[in-house]
A and B are shown apart, each in its own frame.
Chain A
Amino acid sequence: MNAKRWLWSGLILALLIGACVPAATPTPTPSPVPPTPTTVAPAPSPTPAPAGPTPTAAPPTPTPAVPGAPAALKIGIVTFLSGPAASPFGVPARNAAEVLIENLNAGKAPAPYDQKGIGGVPIQAIYVDEAGGAEKQVAEFRRLVLEEKVDLVIGYISSADCLAVAPVAEELKTLTVLFDCGTNQIFEERDYRYVFRTHAHQVIENVGAARYILRMKPNLRSIAGINQNYAWGQDSWAAFRDSVRKLKPDVQVAGEHFPKLFAGEYSAELSALLAARPEVVHSSFWGGDLEAFVIQASPRGLFQQSLVVLTTGDTILPRLGRDMPKGVVIAARGPHGVLAPKTPLNDWFVKIYKDRYVVRPVYPSYHIAQAILGVKAAYEKAIAANGGKWPTGDQVIAAFEHLEFETPSGTIRMALGKGHQAVEPVVLGITGDFDPATGEVKLTDVMEFPAECVNPPDGMKTPDWIAQGFPGAKCP
């Protein structure tokens, strides 16, 4: 018995020691060539760092020599790989990053991204699971920067994670591109130097949705909402309700429902909505909750009774296909997915994604593509500005601020938050017939609200902007 115990204890000890040994590596030395103390890309080590089993190895391509360039640009990519947000958001984003980075490294992307990797330097991605909460993510961020020595981090779907990580990015002076989180707080509460967000925040699609339904139903009398009981749902509903009532003050609110996140069962809420008979129902549900809601609402006739607005509806179109109910207003947090513009870049993106993963990319895939292409555009602009030499961190940041770059979702402008926050237009449409030829749902009444219409001017907080009646908004 004792011997057995010893054996097992020894085994556990060995395991633990094994786990802790890399922790004993010495403190990372500061960058050898720091022109200023604030470099974004610390210590581009001449030898590739020992790679764990996760990073996708970058192919050793003969690169057009950029003087001072590292062997590879290490990017930490943080997205949900487990938990309920993995399948609707995390994995489509990871998939898009994987296929896009492969193609960029091979130099197969169309112009203006036809240079291999980033400025000829291959991208090396390290994927990290976003699960575990903000506390865990702060620790993981520190580990990515200080131990894995990534040059920059692209990541975060959860708003809480974005809010928690952004100050740490400033502290560690590491370029960090937030790719999918929705909260409008980040750049409206304080300024950041190292943090960028290459997509618009969540408020805009609710402002856009409010304008859209008033175009569709100018005599609107009553609205109701069913949103998940957490910040995303609460903020989305508040923005939608306040926008509608600002644009048409006599609209009544016939019900505000906030079922638990991941509840999955909405029979009672649906009864309440059916009994209240509102003209418009707003929902910012996503993922499994959204699908469950559509599945349960459709036989009960909610979509016939009321005009339902699904602000993340794009993500379920490829999944429900011909079973998607008709006459539902769909948005995609910007011009993404089926609502993306017809451009060669978008066609190419959809093609490489579909070739690998069969289904169409959804908005989280577009969002991460925006982040990666934004980083590429910023670096390459900085290289050009630096006379063809590899840029310092400050130069990359200077190039990134107020950048305009092409993406599958159209041109992205970093217009807000002193050039750190992107603006996007909002596109909405109504589901129509299923087209068996393309395997996709046709959208009718597609309407685009340009960025100037749905984004507040720089320096103004979004809730104030709505409360004051959208000053400065230029709408068609």
Chain B
Amino acid sequence: MERRGMEQLAIILIDGLVYASWLFLISAGLTLIYGVLRILNLAHGSLYAMGAYAAASAVLFYFDRGLWPPGSYVALLGAALIIGIVAGPLIERGLLRWIYGRDPVYQLLATYALFLILEDGMKLVWGVNPYYAYKPYGLLGTVQLAGIPYPGYSLLLIGVALLASGGLYLFLHRTRVGRLVVAIIHDPEISVALGANVPRLFLLTFTLGAILAALGGAFTAPMISVVPGLSVEVIVLAFAVVVIGGLGSLEGSAIGALLVGVVRSLMVHRIPELELFAIYLVMALVLLFRPQGLFAIEEVRRV
């Protein structure tokens, strides 16, 4: 009995971790972009969906050529990078730079408009029929953990999330450009006064955020059938995680993702009736005690 209890706990934690990795991938870009650009990007989910579509196309193309199967992971990564590097600057230069400093409502509305446009745009490019790129999902086989089989791909997902967070940490704290980005997150005015090239850093950050979103989509693509409507579901989840963690804080969204992941997994295993509410309950509770989220950036109150 004791052993079964431990196994149960392990299963809950592993499931929570898998879900948290996914949540972190979809929310990290959003919080990074908000931290620097101060724009809550409602089209973040669209970047995720485009990443998923591109990755699915890339994987299908790859397997059609009959190439070495494990190489398909590189195709996933490549698709995400291409989407991020192409769509990111296009959106930032073409739309966002016109609305910096505007009333947040208009910024929300502009990105909402972008979301609507991209939603139909994706349908025009990829059609409405689903894309299946599930080959990479089965390639890694299964691992026996706590008495039940887990797909190796889930572990890969955890690895990707860890790599992404580690890479971001190193970039933000160990490189010159990264430190400038951190400076802007904490105090935009002083950074500008000190001579930071803001337009370039904005472009860079947005592209980075777009790559993260596309990466989340790309690594989700093999687990699902890629269909229109992916973006809507992701946006709310990502927002909730980001708000829990504190807008603009990467550490926050990592902790937020873990919290939501574990609570949700606990509910799936123990009280499945409440699963639907898990994320909102966590959010309401966190905001009740920390109105700005777990790791809020200090805002100056103007008198």
Contact = CB atoms under 8 A, between A and B. Distances in A.
Interface of A: 81-84, 86-88, 91, 229, 255-260, 262-265, 267-269, 271-272, 274-275, 287-288, 291-292, 295-296, 298-301, 319-320, 323
Given A82-B119, A299-B151, 7 more contacts: A86-B227, A229-B276, A265-B19, A275-B7, A287-B227, A299-B142, A319-B132
A291 B269 contact: no
6 contacts: A84-B229, A259-B268, A268-B265, A271-B14, A275-B269, A299-B141
A271 B272 CA distance: 13
A86 B220 contact: no
Interface in B168-195: none
B134 A323 contact: yes
A264 B15 contact: no
A323 B132 CA distance: 11
Contacts of A257: 268, 272, 275
A272 to B, nearest CB: 5
Nearest to A86: B128
Determine chain B's interface SS by DSSP, over half rule.
helix
Nearest to B18: A267
Interface of B: 7-8, 11, 14-16, 18-19, 22, 119-120, 123, 128-130, 132, 134, 137-138, 141-142, 147-151, 153-154, 220, 222-230, 233, 264-265, 268-269, 272-273, 275-276
Nearest to B8: A275
A256 B11 contact: no
A274 B138 CA distance: 18
B227 A269 contact: no
Contact of B220 (A82, A91, A264, A320): A264
Contacts of B227: 84, 86-88, 287-288
B275 A267 contact: no
A275 B224 contact: no
A229 B151 CA distance: 25
Contacts of A83: 228-229
Nearest to A291: B225
A170 B119 CA distance: 36
B269 A288 contact: no
A271 B269 contact: yes
A226 to B, nearest CB: 10
A262 B8 contact: no
Contacts of B269: 268, 271-272, 275
Given A264-B220, A291-B132, A82 B228 contact: yes
A288 B128 CA distance: 12
A87 B128 contact: yes
B270 to A, nearest CB: 9
A291 B230 CA distance: 14
B276 A260 contact: yes
Nearest to A300: B149
A296 B229 contact: no
Contact of B275 (A260, A292, A300): A260
A207 B222 CA distance: 34
